[in-house]
């Protein structure tokens, strides 16, 4: 075999691998790219990471702001953001923790009505996000048909007003977009006018 021919093949293979690596790098960067975006919800403004491949809608099904993830098997992960107009809500941690049984009863009633099965309840928790120091949450996972769904509700005060954020996604969406959703939630910021 000719040495020049072998060098030409090796050079092409190297260029091909470099091109493939660069293309893959830009795909990863493009898919994970997000920007901090400001949204106006009634008289308030919030800011959060908004991935480029997501969409949003104001007043979708009476929810002030809804974020929709990319389609995955004809479904989208959903983040619903509600301001409640309740001012300076005082979280009674003991009462909220004891109220878990009411939450379970309501969810079990909904599951029974829709012929689903509860997989697991995520108990009442208190955590912190980057810009929200106290976030109260509760959730559960359930099956409907052959699909496993994850649903979680978050409550916190934002500039003196009670907010509720709900997330809903399938298990597949969680595997694909779960980290992105956590990044969106943890970046939530209440802005002053």
Residue 190 to residue 162: CA distance in whole angstroms? 11
Beta sheet of 44-51, edge-to-edge order: 34-41, 44-51, 189-191
Residues of the domain holding 87: 34-191
0.85 exceeded by pTM: no
Digit-by-digit pLDDT tens for the chain (193 residues) are 555 655 555 555 544 444 444 444 444 444 445 588 999 888 889 999 999 899 999 999 989 999 999 998 889 999 999 998 899 888 888 888 778 888 899 999 999 999 999 999 998 899 999 999 999 999 999 999 999 999 999 999 998 899 999 999 999 999 999 999 999 999 999 998 6
| Element (DSSP H or E) covering residue 121 | strand 117-127
Domain count, the chain: 2
The CATH number of residue 85's host domain is 3.40.1000.10
**Domain co-membership, 124 together with 160:** yes
**Domain co-membership, 57 together with 86:** yes
């Amino acid at each position: 075999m000719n040495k020049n021919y072998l060098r030409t093949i090796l050079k092409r293979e190297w260029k091909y691998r470099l091109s493939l690596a660069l293309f893959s790098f830009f795909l990863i960067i493009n898919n994970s790219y997000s920007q901090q975006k400001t949204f106006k919800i009634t008289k308030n403004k919030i800011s959060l990471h908004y991935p480029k491949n997501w969409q949003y809608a104001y007043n979708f099904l009476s929810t002030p702001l809804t974020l929709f993830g990319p389609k995955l098997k004809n479904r989208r992960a959903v983040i619903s953001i509600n301001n409640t107009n309740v001012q300076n809500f005082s979280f009674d941690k003991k009462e909220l923790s004891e109220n878990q049984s009411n939450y379970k009863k309501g969810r079990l009633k909904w599951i029974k009505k829709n012929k689903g099965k509860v997989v697991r309840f995520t108990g009442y928790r208190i955590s912190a996000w980057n810009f929200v120091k106290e976030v109260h949450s509760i959730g559960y996972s359930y099956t409907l048909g052959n699909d496993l769904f994850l649903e979680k509700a978050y409550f916190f005060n934002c500039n003196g007003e009670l907010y509720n954020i709900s997330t809903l996604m399938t298990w597949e969406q969680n595997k694909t977009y779960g980290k992105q959703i956590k990044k969106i939630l943890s970046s939530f910021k209440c802005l002053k006018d």
